[in-house]
Amino acid sequence: MIINTNIAAQNSAQLLADSSSKLAKSLTRLSSGSKITSPEDDSAGLAVSMRFDAQINRINAASNNIGSAISFTQTQDGFLKKATKALDRMSELAMLSQDVAKSDSDRALYDKEFQELGAYVTNIGTKDFNGVSLFSATTLNVTIDSDAGTYGMAGVDISGNGTYTTATGSSIGDTASAATALTNVKAAITQISMDRATVGANMVRLNYTNEQLSVQKTSLSSANSRIKDVDVAEESTEYARYNILVQSGTAMLAQANAQPNGALRLLQ
């Protein structure tokens, strides 16, 4: 019987250390909810997961950009609705001013309202959204994906568009002027209907793109989850297994350490 080297105790200690390490790792996974708690667990999976996380964050940023652009177009359309109503009323006033039963003093009253409405439409052209002009001919490039791809959102110009300025600069003080003003306002109404269609097209495109990003984000999150998220049911089973192994290993190590005591009986 050998007492200097206890091979059984060394083996038991080694197995106990391995079981204890796996038990601790299983506990970490369960408490963190992630099956990759350190690079050694799955180095390739960790690299892929990190790229997925970065792409998902970029998608979130792109989605925020699109949300801002949608709010921008909604604000545009809100102002254009009011401008449309103003132009409709201006066309009505131009028609009323051509009534032969009206005097020039009556037309002057119509013209006063006509001018105020024209000034209102002109003022709309100066509005902005968070410091960005709402009504400019400049195309705005909206970031629409995680690779910084852009969509050129066509601009709508009111202040610099001659069709609008001609209409708002008209007068209905006499029948001849009223007839010309009516022609100008009708052209402005046609133009604003085209501009609202442009805004609507921008809005539709942005909404579809935002939905596409949402689908892409869900798909990437699902793929990322399969790589890094722990299966609690499976890991709980592993935890119970390693817990039993640690307890039995501890008991067996105690037995292995006690074996050399038999040498004392030989010496008695």
CA-based angle 50:52:53, to the nearest 5?
A: 65
State the pLDDT at residue 186: 97
Q: Is residue 79 within 8 Å of residue 134, measured between CB atoms? A: yes
CA-based angle 236:241:247, to the nearest 5?
A: 125
**Pick the residue with more confidence: 66 or 255?**
66
Which pair of structure tokens corresponds to residue 229?
């998220």
State the pLDDT at residue 42: 83
Return the number of other C-beta atoms located less than 10 Å from residue 112's C-beta: 13
**Pick the residue with more confidence: 268 or 45?**
45
Say how far apart CA 193 and CA 189 lie, in whole Å.
6
State the pLDDT at residue 187: 97
What is the pLDDT confidence band of residue 1, given thresholds at 50, 70 and 90?
low
Give the class (CATH, top level) of 43-228. mainly alpha
Q: Is residue 113 within 8 Å of residue 246, measured between CB atoms? A: no
State the pLDDT at residue 3: 65
Say how far apart CA 180 and CA 50 lie, in whole Å.
66
* H or E element that contains 267: helix 262-267
State the pLDDT at residue 150: 94
Helix (H, G, I), strand (E, B) or coil at 137: coil
Tokens 């609690």 found at: 232
Q: pLDDT above 70 covers what percent of the chain?
A: 96
State the pLDDT at residue 109: 94
What is the pLDDT confidence band of residue 97, given thresholds at 50, 70 and 90?
very high
212-260 per-position pLDDT tens digit: 999 999 999 999 998 988 888 888 888 898 888 888 888 888 887 777 7
Say how far apart CA 96 and CA 185 lie, in whole Å.
14
**In the chain, which ranges are E strands?**
128-129, 132-133, 140-143, 150-153
State the pLDDT at residue 191: 96
Say how far apart CA 209 and CA 29 lie, in whole Å.
37
Single-letter amino acid, residue 128: D
Residue 54 CA from chain centroid, whole number: 14
Helix, strand, coil shares, percent, the chain, to 5: 75, 5, 20
Helices (H) and strands (E) in the chain, counts: 7, 4
- The pLDDT of 200-217, averaged and rounded, is 96
Q: pLDDT above 90 covers what percent of the chain?
A: 65
State the pLDDT at residue 263: 67
State the pLDDT at residue 41: 80
Query: How many residues can be counted in the chain?
Result: 268
Q: Where are the domains of the chain?
A: 7-33+231-267, 43-228
Q: Is residue 62 within 8 Å of residue 210, measured between CB atoms? A: no
Give the DSSP per-residue string, 164-188. HHHHHT---SSHHHHHHHHHHHHHH
